[in-house]
C-alpha cells in the first residue's frame, strides 16, 4: 500500500493513467524480485556434476542451459508462474487507483461494484466470485505436477542424450544403482561396447549438434 503514491506519480509522468499498460508495468516489476530470488536459489541446487558431464561431452553453455538447466527448473518455473498469477489476478488496490474507465476495470473491481450502499446483489457476487476462482484452479492443476519434482528427480527423468541403452561410464546422469563398468571388457553388454566405440570415434562437438 505504501508504494501506491510513488507508483501513481511515476505513472502520471509516463502518461499511463487509465491505461492497461500501467497495470502490466507495475505487476511485472513488482513480482520480478521474488521470481529472481526463487529461480536463483533453485538453479544453485542443480548438481554441478551434471553440468560437468555435459561439458566433457562437448556441450557448450547454451546447450547446457536449454537441455539441462531449463528442464530441471520446471518446478521453480511452475512456482513462479502460480505466485505471479495469484498476485496479479486478485490485485485490487493498484487497479482501483489507476483505472477509471469501466470497460478497463479488472474482475476484483467488478465484483466490488455489486456491493451497494444499501443492498448487495449476492447472486451476482457469488457468480462473479466463481468465475474468478476457476482460472486459479486451472493454473494450479496445470502446474501442480511439477511441484513433486526437485532437481535430483528431474535429473533422473531428463537424462543426458546418449545411445539407447546408454553406457553408464559415458553418461554419468544415467548411472544405475549398481557399480558401472569402468572399462570395455568382453563381458560388457553389446550396447555398452557399441556406445563406447561410437563415442570414442566421434568428435566431442558432434554429440550435441542436435
What percent of the chain lies above the pLDDT cut of 70?
A: 68
User: Helix 20-44 crosses helix 4-13 at what angle (to 10 degrees)?
Assistant: 120
pLDDT average, residue stretch 148-168: 47
Alpha carbon 9 to chain centroid, angstroms: 33
Residue of higher predicted confidence among 150 and 41: 41
Which pLDDT score is estimated for 206?
44
pLDDT at 44: 86
SS3 115: strand
Residue 58 — left, alpha, or beta (φ > 0 → left; ψ -120 to 50 → alpha)? left
pLDDT band of 21, cuts 50, 70, 90: very high
Higher pLDDT pick, 149 / 59: 59
The pLDDT of residue 107 is above 70: yes
CA 92 to CA 105: how far, in whole Å?
10
Over range 131-157, report the average pLDDT.
71
State the Cα–Cα distance between residues 132 and 97, nearest whole angstrom: 20
Distance between CA 60 and CA 56 in Å, rounded? 10
* pLDDT-based confidence at residue 197 (cuts at 50, 70, 90): low
**Of residues 8 and 151, more confidently modeled:** 8
**Is residue 108 within 8 Å of 90, Cβ to Cβ?**
yes
What is the pLDDT at residue 164? 43
Integer Cα distance of 63 and 204 in angstroms: 13
Q: Is the pLDDT of residue 172 over 80?
A: no
Q: What is the mean pLDDT of the chain?
A: 74
Amino acid at each position: 500500500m505504501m508504494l501506491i503514491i510513488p507508483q501513481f506519480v511515476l505513472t502520471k509522468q509516463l502518461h499511463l493513467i487509465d491505461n492497461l499498460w500501467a497495470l502490466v508495468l507495475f505487476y511485472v516489476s513488482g513480482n520480478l524480485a521474488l521470481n529472481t530470488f526463487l529461480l536463483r536459489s533453485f538453479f544453485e541446487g542443480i548438481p554441478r556434476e551434471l553440468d560437468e558431464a555435459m561439458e566433457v561431452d562437448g556441450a557448450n553453455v547454451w546447450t547446457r542451459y536449454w537441455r539441462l538447466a531449463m528442464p530441471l527448473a520446471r518446478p521453480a518455473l511452475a512456482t513462479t508462474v502460480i505466485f505471479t498469477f495469484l498476485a496479479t489476478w486478485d490485485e485490487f488496490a493498484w487497479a482501483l487507483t489507476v483505472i477509471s474507465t469501466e470497460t478497463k476495470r479488472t474482475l476484483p473491481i467488478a465484483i466490488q461494484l455489486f456491493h451497494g450502499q444499501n443492498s448487495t446483489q449476492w447472486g451476482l457476487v457469488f457468480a462473479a466470485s466463481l468465475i474468478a476462482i476457476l482460472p486459479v484452479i486451472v493454473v494450479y492443476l496445470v502446474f501442480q505436477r511439477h511441484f513433486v519434482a526437485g532437481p535430483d528427480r528431474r535429473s533422473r527423468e531428463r537424462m543426458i542424450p546418449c545411445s539407447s541403452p546408454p553406457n553408464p561410464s559415458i553418461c554419468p546422469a544415467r548411472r544405475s544403482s549398481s557399480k558401472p563398468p569402468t572399462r570395455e571388457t568382453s563381458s560388457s553388454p553389446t550396447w555398452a561396447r557399441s556406445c563406447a566405440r561410437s563415442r570414442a570415434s566421434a568428435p566431442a562437438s558432434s554429440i550435441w549438434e542436435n
